[in-house]
Amino acid sequence: MQLHNKINRDELKEWLMKETFSRKTISFYRYFFLENPQEFRDKIYRDWFALDCFGRIYVAREGINAQMSVPEHHFDTFLKTLEKHEILKDIPIKYAIEDDGKSFYKLTIKVRPKLVADGLDDGSYDVTNVGKHLSGLEFHNLIGQKNTVVVDMRNYYESEIGRFEGAICPEADTFREELEIATNLLHDKKDKKILLYCTGGIRCEKASAYLKNQGFEDVNQLHGGVLEYARQIKKAKLESKFIGKNFVFDERLGESQQFLN
Distances (CA, A) of 74 to 23, 48, 68, 71: 9, 10, 13, 5
169 classed as catalytic: no
Separation between Cα atoms, residue 49 and residue 177, nearest integer Å? 36
Cross-strand partners of 219: 194
Separation between Cα atoms, residue 151 and residue 167, nearest integer Å? 5
43 class by beta-carbon count within 10 Å (0-12 exposed, 13-18 middle, 19+ buried): middle
Pick from 138, 136, 162: nearest CA to 258: 162
CB atoms within 10 A of CB 251: 14
Pick from 172, 154, 178, 176: nearest CA to 164: 154
Contact of 100 with 3, CB cutoff 8 Å:
no
Q: Which residues are marked as active site?
A: 198
